[in-house]
Amino acid sequence: MSDEQQPSPDGGLYLDYGYGSHVGLRRELNEDSSVVTDSLFAVADGMGGHEAGEVASALAVQALAEGWDAAPGPISQVDLQAFLDDADERIREATGAKAGTTLTGAVLVEAQDQLQWLVFNIGDSRTYLHQDGTLRQLTRDHSQVQEMFESGIITAEEIRDHPNRNVITRALGAGDLLSGDYTLTPVTAGQRLLVCSDGLTGELTDAQIADILAAGRSPQDTVDWLIHQSLREGGRDNVTVIVVDVRDG
């Protein structure tokens, strides 16, 4: 776990961030992986047989980080999709298409003449934005229960305890080759970005998460608090959390 401060590319804002991961209380292996740079933040949650999920998530963040590092200029949505395609290929080759992983996060980009978060997602790990006292989910879960909710079959309250809550409909390394979802949102001082695996959202409600994000603690203290609370609520899964604050320089 760490707490870092880095200037954002425009020089007028600073990013202050923390991150951490825990195996949880019921799992033997931590199949989550993450990547944290000065402008790229992402979490992957692997799934598969013994250790295969760990391999899948590690390969996903490795491909993402290597693509970001090797890029000659600013990252675009096309670049990100190429990184995801590379990750998908690496995972299928390494595991025989018997493992998969989610991947979500955000990268700082210049778009529409302003600094923005380019948010990406595949699977049911999530990226949120907390701003002006409001928590907003920037990603849409690619999961069976999300589709059931959108079809009116189950309620929002039933999602967290539904027996199929862990069945995802889109992943890297497994199933059909599908693109990620992408969205842009402007970067402004006072924002708090949260990137997490479902080990957090499976234990805490959005309201509980929002209360912790709004408490005013440092990014690293907030990460530690979120992980601690997820363990107190049962810790049924690996939990990985990144919190990024956008501050005036």
Tell me the pLDDT tens digit for each residue of 174-183: 888 678 999 9
The answer to whether 84 and 107 have CB atoms below 8 angstroms apart is: no
| 172 compared with 11, residue with greater pLDDT | 172
Long-range contacts of 139-148 (CB under 8 A, 24+ apart): 139/104, 139/181, 139/183, 140/181, 141/168, 142/168, 142/169, 142/170, 142/171, 142/181, 143/167, 143/168, 143/169, 144/168, 144/169
Say how far apart CA 51 and CA 69 lie, in whole Å: 27
Residue 193 has pLDDT above 80, yes or no: yes
SS3 215: coil
111 - beta bridge partners? 114
Residue 9 has pLDDT above 60, yes or no: no
22 - beta bridge partners? 239
pLDDT of residue 162: 76
- Indicate the class that CATH gives domain 2-248: alpha beta
SS3 143: strand
